[in-house]
Amino acid sequence: MNSTWRILVGYLLYIAFGTIMFMLPMSQVSGEGLSVVDALFIAVSGISGTGLSPIPVTDMTIIGQVVLLTLIFFGGLGYMTFTAFISVSIRGTMTTSQHKVMRKTFALPNDINLGQFVLNIGIYALIVQIIGAILLFFVFQDDPRANPVWSAIFHSVSSFGTAGFSIYPNGLESYSMNGALNLIVSTICLLGSIGFIVATDVGSVLRGHRQRITLTTRVVLILMATFISGAIGLMLFFGGVDQGEGLYHNFLITSFHVVNAITSAGFNTIPLAEISGSFALILMILMTIGGAPSGTSGGMKITTISAVFAAIRSFIVGDKQVTMLKRVIPQERVRVALSTATVYMTMLLVGYLLLLLVEGDLGFRELLFEAVSGLGTAGLSMGITSQLGDLGKLVIALMMYMGRVGVLTIMATILVQNRKRVDIQYEDVAV
């Protein structure tokens, strides 16, 4: 089995495990277990780090919540990352299959030492989630709705995995004016979303192992800051959020949801069914863009968007080479970026049309928001997830799965398996 099929099948095995566990009576407070479709939906949502769910997490027992958190943890790190981390830690090396899968999973540049990279991932992820849990404990310690220790651990892992699951009945809506909660959760989400390449790169510079950060890191940090600040400014200017609580409250709500959209985290502090059209549009754009490659977020990836726009700019001005920040981008990377963007938008359109076909009575805007959130593994919803029928849930589940393993991975696997040898002839075509 090649590395691509290992990734596809590996995630399916995680999903199968989660589905079976959620169907068991011991995973649900009611003691009845979930239907196959609902259990499958939550399992896919957990492993993909999406956060959409037809039932509140409060309906799960501690066993169900532990299973969900396990899926979020392994899904956020990436298939086989944890086992590769253990292998490198104990034996100092990885197996050949682990090496191929890890290289395929993170799409790493050739100059990155894979073994050291895996170690850095494990250490970085554990440190961020432990510190996040400690900080969140002080926020949740007076909340009687759940054990503060478990709540802190759950929300820290869910934030780093950009999953957006919460063990509170109304999510984090009770903390919309809590500046500490907003800052801590947003920071954890960003640290997961910026990607392990960026984290490793910045760490190497800080330790003096290299002189400057790479082009990937510069692109991610510059564009992430630009998109976040620009989106916050647009929302405040157009009045996308107006809760009548003053500028500070509106700023907290706006910045929190902007960060959660672009990092594909999925937490919300206000009911999104009440947001304006401009607010919804900006959130959908951010969910489509997504975070950085090799991170825990979904979407097309911010580097893909930057490469696409760089290619368009180079074509318009007549440059033969695609450049970004005064650096030439390899043509192979440009082709991957253009292909990813094209396939991603095609998948989104197909998924949206299928939802309109089977769930058209739920509203055009609401279904589009759900489709964008599902494929982008963002988890934000305008409140219609629980209203979806079985066919609608299956469509969203498939979109979440494709968003996690990568739309280009899915398409390449299909096309390669069905590729036939043909005689190639060259002829011009009008475009």
- 430 found inside a domain: no
Structure confidence at residue 245 (pLDDT): 65
Number of residues that this document lists for the chain: 431
CA–CA gap between residue 196 and residue 216 (Å, rounded)? 11
What is d(CA 160, CA 150) in angstroms, rounded to the nearest whole number? 15
Residue 205 lies in a domain: yes
pLDDT at 203: 82
**According to the model, what pLDDT value does residue 248 have?**
82
Q: Report pLDDT for 53.
A: 92
Q: What is the per-residue pLDDT for 187?
A: 95
19: in domain: yes
- With respect to residue 257, please indicate whether it lies within any of the assigned structural domains: yes
Please say whether the beta carbons of 346 and 236 come within 8 A.
no
Instruction: Tell me whether residue 133 is in a domain.
Output: yes
- The type of residue at 37 is V
| DSSP three-state, residue 310 | helix
Q: What's the number of domains the chain is made of?
A: 1
Alpha carbon distance 428, 431 (integer Å): 10
Q: Evaluate whether 377 touches 298 at the Cβ level (below 8 Å).
A: yes
**For residue 60, is it within any domain?**
yes
pLDDT at 409: 67
pLDDT at 236: 82
Give residue 141's pLDDT. 93
Residue ranges, the chain, pLDDT below 70: 1-3, 79-115, 239-245, 407-431
The structure's pTM equals 0.88
Task: Please give the Cα distance from 54 to 255 (Å, whole number).
Answer: 27
Q: So what's the pLDDT on residue 190?
A: 93
Q: Residue 112 falls within a domain, yes or no?
A: yes
What domain range is 183 assigned to?
Answer: 3-415
Would you say residue 422 lies in a domain? no
pLDDT at residue 107 in the model:
59
